[in-house]
Amino acid sequence: MQHEFTIQVSPEIAANPNRLKTTVSKKNNIPLQEIKYIQVLKRSIDARQRAIKVNLKLKVFVQEEFVDSSIELPEYPFVSNAPEVVIIGAGPAGLFAALRCIELGCKPIVLERGKDVRTRRRDLKAINRDHIVDEDSNYCFGEGGAGTYSDGKLYTRSKKRGDVNRILELLVAFGATDQILVEAHPHIGTNKLPGIIAAIREKIIERGGEIHFETRVIDFEIRNSEINGVTLLGGSTIATNKLILATGHSARDIFELLYHKQIEIEAKPFALGVRVEHSQQLIDQIQYKCEVRSPYLPPSPYSIVKQVRGRGMYSFCMCPGGVIAPCATSPGEVVTNGWSPSKRDQPTANSGIVIELRMEDFKPFSNYGPLSGMYFQKSIEQQAWKVGGRTQRVPAQRLIDMVEGKVSSNLPVTSYKPGLTSVDMNAVFPEFIHDTLKDGFKAFDKSMRGYLTNEAVVHAPESRTSSPVRIPRDWKTLEHLQIKGLYPCGEGAGYAGGIISAAIDGEKCAAACVATIKA
């Protein structure tokens, strides 16, 4: 017999199967010897009180043996000779669109401007060590997209958009730990993601799909308002009347191409700010209300949302036990992001701290039309590059110094490998962003006493939170409103905000596309 229970226990009990079994027995009046197995279905930490608790949803097997069943992949058919769908971009939206195409009996042809996960590492090393930015291979472009080397957070609020559990189970089948099905805020880790992405690629190719790396699309062929093919850098073309556009939120050349071809796009608001690094020990002390974190607790994250000067200001992509990475996609700009390895065992914690932007903020760039937000974003990244020393060194300032308007006389070594340049952040940001951040950090300290410390370092900018452009599509068919056969997809099109929501959107676009082929 199986029973499901929700229980709250100490971290020590949650980490010890025997103690957990005894606790479940006592709380539910089940004889200890009759409990054959306890399966943890969901786990979350409640650190609101000094006595930290772990919330568990359990399936208890009473007088019944537990039979473990591994999660298996769908029976993907062989599609080498099936109708073709061209997919631009091998990020989560593009890869999951490809898998769904195969599942539904169509052949995906994936075109990726960057390199495969293994080769891509050399270009990441060049950014960190030599300050060389490859426009086609970096932290944002390449197999797996921005997520591959950016942590692998799988938490999403987009549960209404599709089947989150289906995506998580597919990731487990491709090699992720099954704990991502259990944790309230699942996370794979940058060290584990490349292997999972490679396994997805191998399955696509094994079942007759194609993936072409270092293949940049530079033009769309359109006839009678219908997609007819794509032109590649070098001049070759691929004919298609079914195109899923899943290029990610940093593919500015694609946004420019759409604009110049008068294919309808629109500016959208996004968020922008800085990335702040503290010691993980300090964040643990604040969040867990202790001097030393219990060995039964993971490195603590944090999440803060405030209204400051009439704008939302909040933590974004918080990385416990993580590092800050250089994420520029073109020479002449500086961009930051953060990631954590699977064990989250680095000594520092970092988070994007961003403020909401509005359409009126982009007015100085209104001559760029729907690209006004993108050029606003770009201007700050280029200014950071200039102020930082025209390399990948990042403009930086101690946190209290920033709030008080002082240039830091010295800076500690942080996890950002290319290095730091001490600046006044007022030289990087427009006044309204700078002043909102300053006031916001004071408000943050009221919620997290100790957050505002000069041991914390501000790195600028955190600017690639979401796409500055939306590519409109029909809510039902998911086709572009103007161009038949073009399916805007994922983060770059403005319909997702992370690995899971992008993967869900990729599946949805693939299903909609294949439905027209088989109609």
What pLDDT is recorded for position 49?
A: 87
The average pLDDT across 148-163 equals 70
The average pLDDT across 261-286 equals 97
Q: What share of the chain is helix, strand, coil (3-state, %, to 5)?
A: 35, 25, 40
- The position carrying tokens 């989560």 is 92
Please choose, from the candidates 385, 351, 337, the residue with its C-alpha nearest in 3D space to the C-alpha of residue 131: 385
Mean pLDDT of the chain: 95
Cα distances from 56 to residues 14, 45, 53, in angstroms, run 8, 9, 10
Between 161 and 118, where is the model more confident? Answer: 118
The span from the CA of 430 to the CA of 357, in Å, is 12
Flag the least confident range among 75-84, 178-187, 272-281.
Answer: 178-187
By the 8 A CB rule, do 354 and 272 touch? Answer: yes
Strand partners of residue 458 = 276, 397
Please choose, from the candidates 293, 294, 345, 280, the residue with its C-alpha nearest in 3D space to the C-alpha of residue 15: 294
pLDDT at 160 over 90: no
Two tokens at 357? Answer: 């932007």
Between 69 and 180, where is the model more confident? Answer: 180
List of E strands, 280-347: 305-308, 311-319, 323-326, 336-339
With vertex at residue 442, the alpha carbon angle to CA 440 and CA 446, rounded to the nearest 5 degrees, is: 110
Please choose, from the candidates 490, 473, 508, the residue with its C-alpha nearest in 3D space to the C-alpha of residue 90: 490
pLDDT at 159 over 60: no
**301: helix, coil or strand?**
coil
Widest Cα–Cα separation across the chain:
74
| Neighbouring residues of 395: CB distance < 8 A, sequence distance ≥ 6 | 334, 384, 387, 388, 420, 421, 423, 425, 427, 428, 459, 460
- Residue count of the chain: 519
The span from the CA of 4 to the CA of 328, in Å, is 48
Two tokens at 453? Answer: 């410390």
Please choose, from the candidates 141, 146, 207, 152, the residue with its C-alpha nearest in 3D space to the C-alpha of residue 175: 152
The span from the CA of 152 to the CA of 193, in Å, is 7
Strand partners of residue 245 = 88, 488
By the 8 A CB rule, do 466 and 249 touch? Answer: yes
- pLDDT per residue as tens digits for the range 459-516: 999 999 999 999 999 999 999 999 999 999 999 999 998 899 999 999 999 999 999 9
Angle, nearest 10°, between helix axes 193-206 and 92-103? Answer: 30
Helices (H), 223-328: 252-260, 280-288
Q: Whole-prediction pTM value? A: 0.95
pLDDT-derived band at 436 (thresholds 50, 70, 90) equals very high
The span from the CA of 163 to the CA of 174, in Å, is 17
The average pLDDT across 383-394 equals 98
What pLDDT is recorded for position 399?
A: 98
pLDDT at 411 over 60: yes
The span from the CA of 139 to the CA of 325, in Å, is 8
pLDDT at 83 over 80: yes
Omega cis (within 30) before 347:
no
* Cβ-count burial 148-183 (b if 16+ within 10 Å, e if not): bbbbbbbebebeeebebeebbbbbbbbebbeebbbb
pLDDT-derived band at 185 (thresholds 50, 70, 90) equals confident
pLDDT-derived band at 2 (thresholds 50, 70, 90) equals very high
What pLDDT is recorded for position 432?
A: 97
**Among residues of the chain, what percentage have pLDDT more than 70?**
98
- pLDDT per residue as tens digits for the range 186-224: 888 888 899 999 999 999 999 999 999 999 999 999 999
What is the enclosing helix (H) or strand (E) of 18? helix 17-28
By the 8 A CB rule, do 449 and 286 touch? Answer: yes
Between 185 and 347, where is the model more confident? Answer: 347
The span from the CA of 222 to the CA of 231, in Å, is 11
Cα distances from 238 to residues 231, 263, 264, 320, 418, in angstroms, run 7, 20, 23, 44, 39
**Among residues of the chain, what percentage have pLDDT more than 90?**
89
What pLDDT is recorded for position 158?
A: 59
What pLDDT is recorded for position 151?
A: 63
- pLDDT per residue as tens digits for the range 121-155: 999 999 999 999 999 999 999 999 987 876 677 87
Domains of the chain: 2-62 (3.30.70.2700), 84-267+477-518 (3.50.50.60), 271-462 (no CATH)
pLDDT at 376 over 70: yes
The span from the CA of 32 to the CA of 23, in Å, is 9
The span from the CA of 183 to the CA of 45, in Å, is 9
Phi, psi of 273 (to 5 degrees): 180, -130
What pLDDT is recorded for position 435?
A: 97
